[in-house]
Amino acid sequence: MAATPNRQFKNICVLSGFTYGKHKEFVDAAIDLGRSIVERKLHLVYGGGNRGLLKLVSEAAFIRGSQVLSIIPRVLKHLGSLSDSSTGEELVVSGMQERITKMLNHADAFIFLPGDLATLEALITLASWAHLHIHQKPIGLLNVNNFYDGFIAFLNHAIKNYFIPFNAKKLFICAHTANELLDMLQAYKLVTFRELYTSDPYFAPILEDVVARFRSDYHLHDEFLFKSNQLCVPDLCLRLKIISELHNEGHMGRDKTLALIANTYFWPTMRREVYHYVETCHICQVSKSAATNVGLYMPLPIPTQPWADISMDFVLGLPRTQRGMDSIFVVVDRFSKMAHFIACKKTTNALTVASLFFREVYRLHGLSSSIVSDRDTRFLSHFWKTLWKLTNTRLNFSSACHPQTYGQTEVVNRSLGNHLRSLVGDNLKMWDQKLYQVEFTYNRTVKHSTGLSPFQVNYGYNPRAPIDLAPVPDLVRKSGNAEDFIEQLQKIHETTQESLKQTTKGYKIMADKKRRALEFQVGDFVWAVLTKDRFSVGEYNKLFARKIGPLEIIEKINPNAYRLKLPSHICTADVFNVKHLIPYRGDHDEDVVADNPNSRANSLHPGGNDEE
């Protein structure tokens, strides 16, 4: 923001309470403000009514010939809260929020006199809207008797503690007299994008070359500079706002946030700034679990088209919502990575799950040729197997808690959990009302494995989000004939399949560099780690022993999955991932283990030696 003299505006909106205050200085300031508005040939907009400081301002302006518009909420007018009629022309609106909106539409600048809580609410609302770039109109504080010193101190304290951006103070102009404040408001100006480009050391020479027609990779459109279809952003504060707006929408990781921003915007330090913002995001650090890199990477076969091969799972143990939902049915397309998140109940049986699938997924994408799922009892039921056999759909069951085989859906579940935690806050029993937002954000975000968002792979384009409604020219969406669209979609699918192959290959190479191979043979004894997923709801406790054993390996399913001989009282799947197995070191004499019920190595005794 920079000061430029002779700012021209006609309408000034004054806000205050409907009392006169304790000190005579408040009354004098209100009358002086009304007179100053007339002297400068300005028009007055205010909140209506015939009481307090606003009455003094409106009367002082009206009787001296100024045009006055009062904007009154209907509820206050009917209740008689504003007392008698207003001065000048009267506009009745439905509520308080609409009153602020109408004031914003009619006024060129705002002045706040000392006032009550409603005055403070209007001040915060207008300041928030200015920070969101909804408007660029100056906000003046008439600091009579240092009335707003406390607010300014609060603002400084919040900025110092990083709760409010440092540039927020620029939204406010503060003065002790009406004439001084009006002078400052008329000298106030927000710089334009063109001026920001000119003062930016990176974009300034580019802008000169574009104007001189020396460059074709950049172009101007309505005073906005574009690099191809990306809007160039020169202002540091605006960059931070874009990053926070798009990251906080779903709290995606740094690469996905970067891809989402780079799809629409450009500035030279974007990667560094996005990475720094995401890595220092407090909500992400609190909400997201740490990744583990144990066990070699074993990918599933690469799909060839959208929704031909899917995976499904349940997210359980969620707080019960007002509609009685406590679980999420997750269905993921293994080709496009598109996901549907369907609220359900833990007690949902196989018949209801099938109904949910056909109602929420089949109607949109048709039948799939294969389904990957874990060994949930609903997926193992006779009804479930018979249903998909009749539809000629192949069922592939993964090992329980086996991320190497069933990694995609579990990764989606983890992402879903992170997003929900970030969005619901303390409203834990309203998570089902946020599922639509999480699903939209997830499907609109570029996936690293395909280089495209699920929406783009399925439909050939990304649907609009709220941030896309900003009044900035959109050069991305263009019309075309049907043949071109089909050809483009086929090319997207071919590119996606090749990307999946290359990404999967790269994943395995990179993942295996950071993982160590650990293989067992049939007959070996191991400790098995019981994760929270293997406990029934309500049975898990952080103080429980986390290992059981030693247990004998009775089958090697693949290098990452082993079937164990579990004691009868352990009610969990008998297939374990290698990441949850620890070699048993000790007495390998099975007779000693079996015959000594007090042995710390007995398979009925959870825990294990501290040395393990």
Which of 1-15, 397-411, 425-439, 561-575 shows the lowest mean pLDDT across its residues? Answer: 397-411
SS (H, E, C) 336-367: CCCEEEEEECCCCCHHHHHHHHHHHHHHHHCC
CATH of the domain at 386: 3.30.420.10
- Number of domains present in the structure of the chain: 4
Question: What is the sign of the dihedral through the CA atoms of 185, 187, 191 and 196?
Answer: negative
pLDDT of 127 above 80 = yes
Binning pLDDT at 50, 70 and 90, where does residue 189 land? low
Position 398 scores a pLDDT of: 64
pLDDT higher at 295 or 271:
271
E strand or H helix at 562:
strand 561-564
Percent of the chain past pLDDT 90, that is, above it, reads 12
Instruction: Tell me whether residue 475 is in a domain.
Output: no
Would you say residue 133 lies in a domain? yes
In a domain, 604, yes or no: no
CA distances 448 to 302, 334, 359, 508, Å, are 15, 13, 30, 14
Whether 41 and 170 share a structural domain: yes
pLDDT of 365: 92
Q: What does the alpha-carbon distance between residue 124 and residue 118 come to, in Å, rounded to a whole number?
A: 10
Residues 201 and 184 in one domain: no
Q: What is the pTM of this model?
A: 0.51
User: Residue 224: which domain range?
Assistant: 193-287
As a whole number, mean pLDDT of residues 68-72 equals 83
- Domain match, 180 and 229 both: no
Summarised one tens digit per residue, pLDDT across range 18-56 is 788 788 888 888 888 888 888 888 888 888 767 788 888
| Paired residues of 593 in beta bridges | none
Note whether 19 and 167 are same-domain residues. Answer: yes
Residue 268 sits in the same domain as residue 332: no
Residue that wins the pLDDT comparison between 515 and 323? 323
List pLDDT tens digits, range 469-504: 656 665 555 545 666 767 777 787 787 778 777 777
**pLDDT band per the 50, 70, 90 thresholds, residue 401:** very low
For position 320, what pLDDT does the model report? 92
Question: Where residue 137 sits, what CATH number does that domain have?
Answer: 3.40.50.450
State the average pLDDT over residues 101-130: 85
pLDDT tens digits along 278-336: 877 767 664 554 445 556 677 777 888 899 888 888 888 889 998 899 999 999 998 99
CA angle 259, 262, 266 (to 5 degrees): 160
Nearest residue to 55 (alpha-carbon basis) of 110, 16, 11, 97? 16
Same domain for 18 and 97, yes or no, is yes
Q: Check residues 452 and 51 and name the one with the higher pLDDT.
A: 452
The yes-or-no verdict on residue 266 having pLDDT over 90 is yes
Residue type, 498: E
What percentage of the chain has pLDDT greater than the value 70? 78
Q: Which of 48-52, 332-336, 460-464, 535-539 has the highest mean pLDDT?
A: 332-336
- Domain edge (last residue) among 427, 443, 467: 467
**Confidence grade of residue 178 (pLDDT, cut at 50, 70, 90):** confident
Q: How confident is the model at residue 448 (pLDDT cuts 50, 70, 90)?
A: confident
Tell me what pLDDT residue 472 has.
61
- Asked if the structure places residue 433 within a domain, the reply is yes
323 in the same domain as 278: no
pLDDT for 341 beyond 90: yes
> Residue 537: pLDDT above 60?
no
- Residue 595 — pLDDT band, cuts 50, 70, 90? very low
Whether residue 479 is contained in a domain is answered as no
Give yes or no for a contact between 224 and 472, defined as CB atoms under 8 angstroms apart: yes
Distances (CA, A) of 542 to 367, 486, 539, 558: 42, 54, 10, 31
Q: What are the backbone angles phi and psi of residue 608, rounded to the nearest 5°?
A: 115, 165
DSSP state of 172: E
